[in-house]
Amino acid sequence: ATKYTAFPPIALHDRQWPSQQITKPPVWLSTDLRDGNQALFEPMSVETKIRFFTRLVDIGFKEVEVGFPSASQTDFHFVRRLIDEKRIPDDVTPMVITQAREDLIARTVESVRGAKRAIVHLYNATAPVWRKVVFNMEVPQVMQLIQDRVAYLKKLTDAAPETEWVLQYSPETFSATELDVALQACNTAIEAWNARPGRPVIINLPTTVENATPNVFADQIEWMHRHLNQREHVVLSVHPHNDRGTGVAAAELAQMAGAQRVEGCLFGNGERCGNVDIVTLALNLYTQGVHPRLDFSDINAVAREVEEFTQIATHPRHPYAGDLVFTAFSGSHQDAIKKGFAAQKADAIWEVPYLPIDPADLGRTYDSVIRVNSQSGKGGVAYLLEKDHGVVLPRRMQVEFSAVVQRHAEAADAEVSSEEIWKLFKNTYLRA
Ligand code: KIV
Ligand code: ZN
């Protein structure tokens, strides 16, 4: 059973106000091997990608964007190896991305030929600045491009019925695109693909560059959710980046607004400030009692391996995964945590103050850094005496003895070490 914390939003307990909750995990897509990879100083080798892919599958991803095979020979080779060496489990679908050009689409389809199921991810930028400055295209030309290229992809894939083909269409720069234009682009793709049962389409709405508060993105998603054609045959996906530091919030609000699928990277790797961090999203769900269907029960092993693959260190304060996130520095926190652990019953709701999740669920342990100085309370002193010297002080003595330690710290104008505390203790109580 999934634990959840005793301090989720109060609405979860008694619904005093109608806050929305996410009640089931989205379909996750890892783009570590594509968006994540393209943002590395040194893109991953085929061997590293194979190891990373295997790890993603072990974690539980059922959809993995494996690369950009028309743009990179390494990626083409990697995808072919996955398929030819039968490394893709039957319940996992690879996704390959392509720009909307016929030669690139053809090469992309070649890369996944023979897969049981494959998603071809076609994208083009739709925002006004890109139309004007980058492509010099008017809106009708953009729509024609989408219509033609999706039809071309359909023709190629119809001729290869041994694979179950799924179209993913992304209006790149969606969040900076007029909503009616974005809708027209997506509906054009849906119609050109002839979406219907057994022939689904994924409409993936990226922020590309995060440009507004997350509620604005959620409003955009909700509007698309209400207006898309063939909605029942469409999987509505989001692809938040993190330029304003609100990628996680954007993904969470977007799910409440109708998104069914989330694309991101482990630990928020990806272009610029990263793609949305799937570890944080998944474990945020976990703390609310919703099993994310991704396994982070040995988060340290995942973090160390991803660091090796990407050569990027995990920040020590990264939610759930950073080296310091289960370390308490403050004496009052330490005291509360100690009491929480003593009161916590196995398999009950997690009720240890200051720890948003049981570290053991992630294969981790709680650490306390005890710094005793003139400002510290009795908790740190008592803890060090017990941990390092096996002395359990009764409560009244804790108050009395911590005053002794505080006076000492004040006089020395410095921190007091565990050894000094022990000496003071012996001088105060154990002198013959
Ligand atoms: O961020 C983005 O817009 C992308 C698209 C190609 C989906 O990565
Ligand atoms: Zn992206």
Q: Which pLDDT score is estimated for 92?
A: 98
For the Cβ of 98 lying below 6 angstroms from any atom of ligand 1, the answer is no
Regions in the chain scoring below 50 on pLDDT: none
- 85 CB contacts (<8 Å, ≥6 apart)? none
Is 170 close to ligand 1, i.e. is its CB under 6 Å away?
yes
Report the alpha-carbon distance of residue 30 to residue 45 in Å, rounded. 18
Task: Give the CA angle between residues 84, 90, 92 to the nearest 5°.
Answer: 95
Neighbours of 274 (CB within 10 A): 22
pLDDT in tens, 130-172: 999 999 999 999 999 999 999 999 999 999 999 999 999 999 9
Whole-model pTM: value is 0.89
Instruction: Please tell me the predicted confidence (pLDDT) of residue 196.
Output: 83
Q: Write the CA distances from 61 to 92, 98, 263, 379, integer angstroms.
A: 7, 21, 11, 43
pLDDT score for 267: 98
Interval 337-393: pLDDT, tens:
989 999 999 888 899 999 999 999 999 999 877 778 887 778 788 888 998 899 999
Cα dihedral 259/263/265/268 (nearest 10) = -40
Q: Following CA atoms 17, 18, 19, 24 in sequence, which dihedral angle do they give, to the nearest 10 degrees?
A: 130
In the annotated binding site, the residues are: 35, 239, 241, 275
DSSP-derived secondary structure letter, 414: S
> Mutate which of 95, 97, 123, 272 to test ligand 1's pocket (most atoms within 8 Å of Cβ)?
123
- Asked if residue 206 has its Cβ within 6 Å of ligand 1, the reply is yes
Res 432: pLDDT: 63
Integer-rounded Cα radius of gyration of the chain:
27
Note whether 43 and 72 are within 8 A (CB): yes
Q: ∠ CA(195), CA(199), CA(205), 5° rounding?
A: 60
* Residue 254: its H or E element: helix 247-256
- Binding site members for Mg(2+): 35, 239, 241, 275
Ligand 1: which of 121, 177, 208, 210 to mutate, most ligand atoms within 8 Å of CB? 208
Ligand 1 and 175: CB distance under 6 A: no
